[in-house]
């Protein structure tokens, strides 16, 4: 007799980008799928994000004349992580990111296209970030849920995975699900996909794996409590790169809204409380958080101008900041310094030297390459920023089919993982994050895991995932 009230072929825990894409992929394969989500609505870290995802070799890139391919993307991932990442996962993401995205566009009418404002930068040697122009990650996750509804996928909200029931060899038989009133429901499954996000909201885990993040404000999803990682580890799964995470140096204070990276890429600067620059603003989008927190009071100011503002005004986060009148504005560096409490001569010097470098009359003091951009000029804007932890990048070790592995490299029989729950490709720490690898891992491993889990549940062997 079964221990479970009922059984599904594919059970997906977590309904952010990874879980939603996995569920769509499994449903497309004609296999029954159930999604459980601890929150009462679509969101997750995906819903807080800028909704940008990397893909190499897409039609949208080609339409903009961008030559890119999986081999280049793979090289970029490995270079950014200084070779200290899993080449199997890196290759899997590099090869499958474009097919996954094109499938979502063609089959499910997801409106992703190349985000041309996000030029090749921060380790991506080609423009390859795709987004939904004028929309954020919240719009994206809501659209994914609409598509799941269209596909007839059931999503149980307010339902948290709290236990995995498995045989001694790690074969998953089913799960225990907790409802808000504490009631436990037991559901059997033939395959299980863990898509519960990372562990950034779990202080015990961040203290253990990335203690330096204590200096950062947590600006990720509260549901990222590491459930998938903890439950997977109990089953005998290997973990990888647990100290890996994306920090961010541009969380506006007090608004709590991210300054989008194109503000820097279009010419913006970051200065400290005194008005001095301290880093090449185009070197490391995630690792820049640590030099920021070492500055006086751990705060900075993003300095840009009206022209940069205009070029980036359609990006939802900046549009909101404009609406909130969050930026200080002034016509001269001295007046701006007075507004932000900086030393007028230091701020003037920082801006003048950057302008000199932009004009090619002297090297940039921080080594920034100004090719194709210009530093800010009057009228100036300034946004106060602090450093934050956005999401973690370490997790369950998976293979090219998003199958969860044991420490000896063997597969657990029917367990899959993706997105923040899986090991990504950012190396062991904070400096290996390539822009948009969070959602790239979620979307690509979601697509792969959904197809592979469906095939396993249906007794077929998945042949078409390239690795
Ligand atoms: C402010 C911000 C901006 C970002 N911008 C970008 C960006 O532009 N591009 C990019 O690539 N990355 C970005 N990221 C990172 C990106 O959002 C994540 O890497 C990505 O969303 C992870 O997707 P996911 O599906 O794995 O996790 P999530 O989207 O977090 O989804 C996991 C879901 O699982 C649920 N859950 C958790 N535990 C359980 C459980 N036990 N049972 C059931 N459900 C559970 C959660 O409630 C959540 O809804 C950003 C992150 C932040 C915080």
- pTM tops 0.75, yes or no: yes
Q: Is 147 helix (H, G, I), strand (E, B) or coil?
A: helix
Residues of the chain with pLDDT under 70: 1-2, 460-467
Q: If you take atom 41 of ligand 1, which residue's CA is the nearest one?
A: 161
Residue 320, exposed/middle/buried by CB under 10 A (0-12, 13-18, 19+)? middle
Tokens encoding 212: 């330096």
15: CA distance to ligand 1 center in Å?
9
In short, whether 160's Cβ falls inside 6 Å of ligand 1 is yes
Question: Given CA atoms 460, 423, 440, 369 in this order, what sign does their dihedral have?
Answer: negative
Distance CA 102, CA 56 (A): 11
What is the Å distance from ligand 1's center to 328 Cα? 32
Structure confidence at residue 2 (pLDDT) = 63
Question: CA–CA distance from 419 to each of 193, 288, 393, 415, 422 (Å)?
Answer: 11, 23, 9, 14, 6
- The residue nearest atom 18 of ligand 1, judged by CA position, is 438
Residue 115 · residue 133 · CB < 8 Å: yes
Q: Please indicate whether residue 20, judged by its CB atom, sits closer than 6 Å to ligand 1.
A: no
- DSSP code of 410? P
Pairing of strands 184-194, 172-178: antiparallel
Q: Rounded CA gap, 229 and 209, in Å?
A: 12
403 ligand 1 Cβ < 6 A: no
How buried is residue 40: exposed, middle or buried, by Cβ count under 10 Å (0-12/13-18/19+)?
exposed
The DSSP call for residue 238 is: -
3-state class (DSSP) for residue 34: strand
Residue-level pLDDT at 460: 63
What is the Cα 360 distance to its own chain's centre? 35
* Residue found under tokens 């059931």: 154
pLDDT at 466: 47
Q: Which two tokens stand for residue 364?
A: 């940039």
Let me know: does 35 contact 154? Beta carbons within 8 Å. yes
The pLDDT tens digits for 327-359 are 999 999 999 999 999 999 999 999 999 999 999
Give the mutation target among 15, 20, 44 for probing the ligand 1 site: most ligand atoms within 8 A of CB.
44
Q: How far is the CA of 221 from the centre of ligand 1 (A)?
A: 7
């Amino acid at each position: 007799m079964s221990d479970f009230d009922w059984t599904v072929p594919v059970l997906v825990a977590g309904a952010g980008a990874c879980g939603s894409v996995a569920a769509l992929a499994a449903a497309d394969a004609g296999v029954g799928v159930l999604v459980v989500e601890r929150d009462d609505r679509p969101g997750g870290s995906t819903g807080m994000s800028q909704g940008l995802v990397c893909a190499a070799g897409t039609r949208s890139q080609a339409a903009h004349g961008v030559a890119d391919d999986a081999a280049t993307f793979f090289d970029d991932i490995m270079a950014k992580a200084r070779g200290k990442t899993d080449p199997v996962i890196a290759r899997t993401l590099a090869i499958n990111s474009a097919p996954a995205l094109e499938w979502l566009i063609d089959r499910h009418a997801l409106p992703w296209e190349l985000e041309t404002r996000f030029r090749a930068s921060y380790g991506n040697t080609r423009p390859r970030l795709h987004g939904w122009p004028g929309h954020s990650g919240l719009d994206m996750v809501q659209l994914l849920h609409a598509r799941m509804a269209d596909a007839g996928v059931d999503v149980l909200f307010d339902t948290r995975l709290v236990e995995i029931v498995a045989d001694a060899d790690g074969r998953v038989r089913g799960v225990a699900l907790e409802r808000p009133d504490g009631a436990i429901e037991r559901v059997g499954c033939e395959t299980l996909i863990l898509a519960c996000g990372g562990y950034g909201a779990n202080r015990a885990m961040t203290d253990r794996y990335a203690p330096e993040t204590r200096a950062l404000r947590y600006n990720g999803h509260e549901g990222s409590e590491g459930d998938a990682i903890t439950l997977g580890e109990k089953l005998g799964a290997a973990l990888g790169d647990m100290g890996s995470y994306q920090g961010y140096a541009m969380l506006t204070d007090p608004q709590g809204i991210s300054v989008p990276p194109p503000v820097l890429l279009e010419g913006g600067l970051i200065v400290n409380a005194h008005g001095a620059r301290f880093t090449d603003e185009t070197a490391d989008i995630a690792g820049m958080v640590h030099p920021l927190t070492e500055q006086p009071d751990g705060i900075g100011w993003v300095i840009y101008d009206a022209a940069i503002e205009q070029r980036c005004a359609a990006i939802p986060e900046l549009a909101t900041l404009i609406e909130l009148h969050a930026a200080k504005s002034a016509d001269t560096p001295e007046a701006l310094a007075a507004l932000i409490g900086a030393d007028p001569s230091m701020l003037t010097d920082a801006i003048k030297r950057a302008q000199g470098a932009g004009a090619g009359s002297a090297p940039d003091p921080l080594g920034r390459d100004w090719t194709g951009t210009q530093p800010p000029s009057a009228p100036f804007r300034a946004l106060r920023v602090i450093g934050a932890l956005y999401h973690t990048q370490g997790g369950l070790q998976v293979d090219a089919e998003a199958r969860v592995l044991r420490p000896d490299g063997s597969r657990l029989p029917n367990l899959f993982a993706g997105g923040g729950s899986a090991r990504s490709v950012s190396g062991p720490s904070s400096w290996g994050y390539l822009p948009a690898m969070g959602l790239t891992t979620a979307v690509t491993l979601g697509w792969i895991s959904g197809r592979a889990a469906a095939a396993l549940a249906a007794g077929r062997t998945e042949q078409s995932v390239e690795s």
